[in-house]
Amino acid sequence: MKNKELNILMGFNLRKLRLESKLTQEELAGRICVNTRLFQKWEAGRKGIGKDVLLKLCKILNAKPYLFYVDERAPFLKSIREREIVYKIREAEKVGVADLIEQFVDFMVSQAKKKH
Q: Give mean pLDDT, residues 51-59.
A: 96
**Separation in Å, CA 70 to CA 36, 75, 76:** 25, 10, 9
Three-state SS string across 23-34, please?
CCHHHHHHHCCC
CA 41 – CA 35 distance, rounded (Å): 10
CA 86 – CA 109 distance, rounded (Å): 17
Q: Please report, for the chain, the start and end positions of each structural domain, with discontinuous segments joined by +.
A: 1-73, 77-116
pLDDT tens per residue across span 72-115:
555 666 677 877 887 788 888 888 898 888 899 889 999 999 98
Q: Give mean pLDDT, residues 1-10.
A: 85
Residue 6 DSSP SS3: helix
Task: Report the chain's C-alpha Rg in angstroms.
Answer: 16
Q: Give mean pLDDT, residues 50-68.
A: 93
| Share above pLDDT 70 across residues of the chain, in percent, rounded to a whole number | 91
Residue 78: predicted pLDDT: 64
Average pLDDT, the chain: 88
Residue 87: predicted pLDDT: 78
Residue 77 DSSP SS3: coil
Fold classification of 1-73 (topology level): 434 Repressor (Amino-terminal Domain) (1.10.260)
Residue 77: predicted pLDDT: 63
**0.85 surpassed by pTM:** no
Residue 72: predicted pLDDT: 56
